[in-house]
């Protein structure tokens, strides 16, 4: 069964560094999402993406964040200058008929 | 602002009983509501979707109801099993195809043998 994959599974970075989180959505899906989940807290919507454009974004998704689909398969989330509070699990999801298929997540730790 | 509340942080029930979880929302008119299961350290797994014009949906031992007047959804697991132990999340979505999805904080369900 096709699944969403994410790399790396765990990323440790220093505050102020740039990180790129990678996702490979399910191949025939057209809508893609990024979420984050701070330890012990709720899943929070960051951004949705369709047709190579951002569809919606939350107030969390400020100028430090960007998304792109560089090659038609990968879907990336970039954080330009990480802060301590960016430490969280980041989940990618691809969507088929409103059903969201989540990846296993990337645990980002900012030191 | 939009708010989703799931009735309790944790629910413990005996194996074989029906587990009922509640999701209430305010300041929102969703196009549909979803329920997910999340195990520790894993991503959410989609279980069921119910649209605003539907009252009830079933899938095997799962049943969801949706009352847009009360702004409430109930999620039932019948004949519960220890393997059903997990955190269950409700989520609301708007009308556009790639709309923002708002998640509740979840209810941690434990089924004791």
In contact, A73 and A27? CB cutoff 8 Å: yes
**Nearest CB to B97; choose among A41, A50, A99:** A50
How many residues belong to chain A? 111
B40 has a pLDDT exceeding 80 = yes
Q: List the single best residue of A9, A21, A40, A43 to mutate versus B (max B Cβ within 10 A).
A: A43
pLDDT number for residue B27:
86
Query: What band does B6 get if pLDDT is binned at 50, 70 and 90?
Result: very high
The set of residues, in sequence order, having a beta carbon less than 8 Å from that of B21 and lying 6+ positions away, is B6, B7, B11, B74, B75, B76, B88, B90, B107, B109
pLDDT number for residue B2:
78
A73 has a pLDDT exceeding 90 = no
Query: What band does A72 get if pLDDT is binned at 50, 70 and 90?
Result: confident
Query: What band does B96 get if pLDDT is binned at 50, 70 and 90?
Result: confident
pLDDT number for residue A75:
94
pLDDT number for residue B3:
87
- Cβ contact, residue pair A105, B103, below 8 Å: no
* CA-to-CA separations, B111 to A37, B19, B37, B76, in angstroms, rounded: 25, 9, 14, 13
Q: How far is B94 from chain A (nearest CA, A)?
A: 11
B98 has a pLDDT exceeding 90 = no
B100 contacts in A (CB within 8 Å)? 45, 48, 56, 58
Q: What is the mean pLDDT of residues B93-104?
A: 88
């Amino acid at each position: 069964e096709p699944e969403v994959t994410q790399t790396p599974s765990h990323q440790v970075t220093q505050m102020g560094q740039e990180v790129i989180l990678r996702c490979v959505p399910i191949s025939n899906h057209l809508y893609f999402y990024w979420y984050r989940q701070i330890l012990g807290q709720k899943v929070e919507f960051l951004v949705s993406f369709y047709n190579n454009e951002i569809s919606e974004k939350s107030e969390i998704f400020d100028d430090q964040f960007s998304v792109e689909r560089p090659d038609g398969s990968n879907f990336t989330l970039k954080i330009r200058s990480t802060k301590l509070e960016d430490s969280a699990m980041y989940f990618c999801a691809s969507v088929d008929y409103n059903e969201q298929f989540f990846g296993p997540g990337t645990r980002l730790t900012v030191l | 602002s939009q708010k989703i509340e799931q009735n309790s942080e944790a629910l413990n029930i005996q194996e074989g009983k029906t587990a009922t979880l509640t999701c209430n929302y305010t300041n929102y008119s969703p196009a549909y509501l979803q329920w997910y299961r999340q195990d520790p350290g894993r991503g959410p797994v989609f279980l069921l979707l119910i649209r605003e014009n539907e009252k009830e949906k079933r899938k095997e031992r799962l049943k969801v109801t949706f009352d847009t007047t009360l702004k409430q959804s109930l999620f039932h697991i019948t004949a519960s099993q220890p393997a059903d132990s997990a955190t269950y999340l409700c989520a609301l979505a708007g009308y556009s195809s790639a709309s923002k999805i708002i998640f509740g904080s979840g209810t941690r369900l434990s089924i004791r043998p």
